[in-house]
Amino acid sequence: MVYKFRVILDAEEDIFRDIAIQENDTLEDLHNAIVNAFGFDGLEIASFYTCDDEWTQEDEIPLFDAGEVPGEMKAMADYPLSSILDSENTKIIYVYDFLNMWTFFVELGAIEEPENGVSYPDLLFSHGHMPNTAPEKDFSAEGDDIYGDFEDDYDDEDLDMFGDGEDFDDMSFDDNQWN
């Protein structure tokens, strides 16, 4: 079978590529197809991330085994597409070049019979031009104030450790006593 993906750059403009690739190909093969489709040089590291239907990032699948013990961490080459994606699990996130954070939403749109005479992977459609630099990422959580309207009910008197209104400035320590 052939998996047909839409790979969308996380940007304000519509920039995407449609790619067809065989189901037995690996995530590394999909990585190479994405690199070629978007015109990257392929010299940067990358990772796929499993995610839920709301694009919430879950498990990382790196390009290379980055574990401390060789072979302890599975890499893209260890995952056939059919082991990660199917008609129920259709979304993954792809990040290329961790310094620039080119981020893509990759969605499986169709599973079809291969066409005679077509070599895969195949770039089916291209829309939009790649910007020169990666779009800015906003890493803030929903809402700017992560603590909300937190009030701890302490005031300056509660923090007076000496109990008599003195503070460290009133203690007349010699500034150079350690010299």
Mean pLDDT by 10 residues, the chain (179 residues): 97 96 97 97 95 95 84 90 93 96 97 95 96 80 52 59 58 55
Which pLDDT belongs to residue 66? Answer: 77
What pLDDT is recorded for position 24? 95
Give the span between the Cα atoms of 155 and 171, in whole angstroms.
Answer: 21
Peptide bond into 121 cis (omega under 30): yes
Query: What is the pLDDT, as a whole number, of residue 158?
Result: 57
Q: With CA atoms as reference, report the closest residue to 60 among 93, 106, 85, 34.
A: 93
End-to-end alpha carbon distance in the chain: 77
| Bridge partner list, 7 | 17, 106
Q: What is the pLDDT of residue 167?
A: 57
CA distance 40 to 43: 8
Asked whether the whole model's pTM tops 0.85, one would answer no
